[in-house]
Amino acid sequence: MSESQGMNEFIPAFQFIRRTVTLKPAVALVLGSGLGGLADAIAGRHAIPFKDIPDFPTAKIVGHAGNLVFGTLSNIPVVAMQGRVHFYEGHPMSKVVFGIRLMRLLGAHTLITSNAVGAINKKYKVGDFMIIRDHLNFQGDHPLRGPNPDALGSRFYDMSAAYDPHLRAQAARLGRKLKLRLHEGVYAACMGPSYETPSEIRMLRKLGADAVGMSTVPEVLAARHMGMTCLSISFISNMAAGVTKFALSHEEVMEAGRNAGNGLQRLVIELLKTVDLPDRTHSTPGDPVTPTPSRQGRSSNRRA
Report the distance separating Cα 148 and Cα 6, nearest Å: 8
Our answer to whether residue 247 is catalytic in this structure is no
Our answer to whether residue 93 is catalytic in this structure is no
Residue of 187, 176, 196, 174 lying closest to 235 (CA atoms): 187
- Candidate list 46, 91, 142, 250, residue with the active-site label: 250
Our answer to whether residue 88 is catalytic in this structure is yes
Our answer to whether residue 64 is catalytic in this structure is yes
Our answer to whether residue 91 is catalytic in this structure is no
Our answer to whether residue 238 is catalytic in this structure is yes
Our answer to whether residue 283 is catalytic in this structure is no
- Candidate list 4, 46, 47, 88, residue with the active-site label: 88
Report the distance separating Cα 213 and Cα 242, nearest Å: 15
Our answer to whether residue 124 is catalytic in this structure is no
- Candidate list 67, 115, 232, 238, residue with the active-site label: 238
Our answer to whether residue 135 is catalytic in this structure is no
- Candidate list 8, 86, 188, 222, residue with the active-site label: 86
- Candidate list 4, 46, 89, 137, residue with the active-site label: 89
* Cβ proximity of 56 and 50 under 8 Å: yes
* Cβ proximity of 251 and 130 under 8 Å: no
- Candidate list 93, 116, 209, 260, residue with the active-site label: 116
- Candidate list 7, 13, 28, 33, residue with the active-site label: 33
Our answer to whether residue 8 is catalytic in this structure is no
Report the distance separating Cα 135 and Cα 217, nearest Å: 7
- Candidate list 214, 222, 240, 256, residue with the active-site label: 214
Strand residues in the chain grouped as ranges (E) = 27-31, 43-49, 67-73, 76-82, 110-119, 129-138, 182-190, 211-213, 229-239
- Candidate list 215, 232, 234, 237, residue with the active-site label: 215
- Candidate list 7, 64, 93, 135, residue with the active-site label: 64
Catalytic center residues: 33, 64, 86, 88-89, 116, 214-215, 238, 250
